[in-house]
Structure 1
Amino acid sequence: MTYEGVLKKMQTELEDTVQYYWLLPGEFVHVNTLLERQLKLELLGFQCLNCGLDRPIFRQGFCRSCFFEIPQAGDWIMRPELSQAHLGKEDRDLEYEKKMQLQPHIVYLANSSNVKVGVTRKSQVPTRWIDQGAHEAIGIVETPNRYLAGITEVALKEHVSDKTNWRKMLTNNAKDEDLFAWRERLKTYIPEEALPYFLASTKETNISFPVLKYPEKVNSLNLDKTPEYSGKLMGIKGQYLIFEDNTVFNIRSNEGYVVRLSLA
């Protein structure tokens, strides 16, 4: 069986074990069912997720020109403290920015390789935690806009990491942490204007991933350098496919790549 299409991040469902789905033209692939199957990936070209043209992907699934022009790639995406829609100030498209920034956001703690602080729209919980490969996560603050969440993250990352060690996450070396205790310790550092939105009673979310075998040493597949690869799929964690030979493939960082997927 063969599938072809442009890569986009896998869709997920939080169940006892996370369920993963690949949406390709005319196809809906339940990726969990491919475990222990031999897969072949071939790079066919590119398709910018915005303009749709066959141009090399620059970042986030967009070609270079789109990345520097469209509101979906504004600096406030990666740095929410730069959000200004609450002030009525436009970055690239005020209507879009109001839609995305002026909605509830969660500042959270997630443990994938270590405890980290992050920001996501409330509507993206728990999807964001799954995509980061976190096996446990908890909300700290729920703010009415992205700016307040952003300045809270900036304040807290002085006392806790805001990065995930993706290699450690994929080898499953992270230990369990008491996220309730972390939340209480960090409460002291929440900015005054965000403190009224502190979440004192939210529960911890625990996440189990469909992995039959974790890699001992991680080898990342780069389709630009290796446009054709075959391997037995042994797990899925975050947005990574994990193969038997310790190769891992990050779907998210290859969005916009057009591939052929063949099943043996």
Structure 2
Amino acid sequence: MSAVGYLSELQHEPSSPVRYYLVVGDERFSLNERIGTKIVLTYLDEKACCHCGRISKKLYNNGYCYPCFIKLAECDLCIVKPHECHYHLGTCRDESFAESHCMIPHYVYLAVSSGIKVGLTRKNRELTRWVDQGAVRAIPLAETPTRKLAGEMEFLISQHIPDKTDWRKMLRGQIEDVDLIRVREQVKEILPEEYRSYLLEVDEIFEFTYPMTGEMEKVKSLTFDKIPQIEGILTGIKGQYLILDQGVINMKKHTGYKVKVDWCV
């Protein structure tokens, strides 16, 4: 089986283990059944913007051409630093985008991917967010009416708890044993009173397992920016990573790359 097209980030469905799909152009292929088989990904020396389709020598922010990168609201700095949201200042790049993506309920959460981390996500997108980060456990901490408020809470908590994932430890399965309920109670104590009305009393811990055939001893990153062809036995999938016996490839970072995919049975 083979396919040719522009890559998109991995799609997935919450199940046990998580069910993954590889998206190549307009085609979508279920991956879980292909673990244990050889995959060959050949870069065809072409990239296209995931938003406008423009052919571009260089892509930014996981798949955007430079014009889209500097004009689209979803590429603004406040997306990665939501506490710096400037919608209220009247300088948002796209108010309609803000109203549908930012001025809506968000969760602040605690998750364990390698160690404990704090993060935020749009409400009803939390499962997607947690799987993208390779989380094995997660729990909502608070629900806010806007992304900016969630960002302010996340920023305050990040002074005490990391807001980044160690992706190498995550892929190797080096997961800290963390009591999320206990950490949640500790976090509540450090929050200023003005944020406490947004706190949730949810005790359900969401847990995730991933299609993996074993643990990795070393993590070698593979990218088409260095080699035109990536191949190997697919041994697992976690977060946005295809795990091969020869190394790992972050599919989200290769959004917009045109490739030929071959499966060797």
TM-score bracket, shorter-length normalisation = over 0.9
Q: Which runs of 5+ in 2 are unaligned?
A: none
Contact 2:18 2:208 (8 Å CA) reproduced: yes
In structure 1, the residue matched to 2:235 is: 234
- The CA distance in 2 between the partners of 1:26 and 1:201, in whole Å, is 39
Contact 1:106 1:119 (8 Å CA) reproduced: yes
- The amino acid across from 1:172 in the alignment is G
- The CA distance in 2 between the partners of 1:22 and 1:192, in whole Å, is 45
Q: Secondary structure at the match of 1:116?
A: strand
In structure 1, the residue matched to 2:15 is: 15
In structure 2, the residue matched to 1:54 is: 55
In structure 1, the residue matched to 2:32 is: 32
214-223 or 60-69, which moves further after superposition? Answer: 60-69
In structure 2, the residue matched to 1:103 is: 104
Contact 1:20 1:32 (8 Å CA) reproduced: yes
- The CA distance in 1 between the partners of 2:231 and 2:96, in whole Å, is 44
In structure 1, the residue matched to 2:150 is: 149
TM, length-normalised to structure 1: 0.95
In structure 1, the residue matched to 2:74 is: 72
- The amino acid across from 1:12 in the alignment is H
Q: Secondary structure at the match of 1:119?
A: strand
Contact 1:88 1:94 (8 Å CA) reproduced: no
In structure 2, the residue matched to 1:5 is: 5
- The CA distance in 2 between the partners of 1:84 and 1:188, in whole Å, is 29
Q: Secondary structure at the match of 2:124?
A: helix
Shift in Å at residue 39 of structure 1?
Answer: 0.4
Alignment of 1:108-257 (within 5 A): 108-245=109-246, 247-257=247-257
- The amino acid across from 1:22 in the alignment is L
Contact 2:171 2:216 (8 Å CA) reproduced: yes
Q: Secondary structure at the match of 1:223?
A: coil
Q: Secondary structure at the match of 1:42?
A: strand
- The CA distance in 1 between the partners of 2:47 and 2:140, in whole Å, is 37
Contact 2:116 2:176 (8 Å CA) reproduced: no
Find out whether 1:84 has 2:66 as its counterpart: no
Shift in Å at residue 52 of structure 1?
Answer: 0.7
* Cα offsets for 1:7-34 (capped at 9, x unmatched): 1111111112100112333422001111
Q: Secondary structure at the match of 2:154?
A: helix
Q: Secondary structure at the match of 1:220?
A: coil
Contact 2:181 2:203 (8 Å CA) reproduced: no
Contact 1:152 1:191 (8 Å CA) reproduced: no
- The CA distance in 2 between the partners of 1:58 and 1:27, in whole Å, is 24
Contact 1:215 1:244 (8 Å CA) reproduced: no
230-239 or 212-221, which moves further after superposition? Answer: 212-221
Contact 1:135 1:208 (8 Å CA) reproduced: yes
**Count of aligned pairs between the two proteins:** 262
* Cα offsets for 1:59-79 (capped at 9, x unmatched): 221122221111110111101
- The CA distance in 1 between the partners of 2:257 and 2:193, in whole Å, is 44
- The amino acid across from 1:14 in the alignment is P
- The CA distance in 1 between the partners of 2:53 and 2:202, in whole Å, is 44
56-65 or 224-233, which moves further after superposition? Answer: 56-65
- The CA distance in 1 between the partners of 2:202 and 2:140, in whole Å, is 9
Q: Secondary structure at the match of 1:126?
A: helix
- The CA distance in 1 between the partners of 2:28 and 2:192, in whole Å, is 44
* Cα offsets for 1:167-199 (capped at 9, x unmatched): 000000113310000000001222433210101
In structure 2, the residue matched to 1:258 is: 258
- The CA distance in 2 between the partners of 1:77 and 1:14, in whole Å, is 25
- The CA distance in 2 between the partners of 1:116 and 1:18, in whole Å, is 21
- The CA distance in 1 between the partners of 2:226 and 2:202, in whole Å, is 48
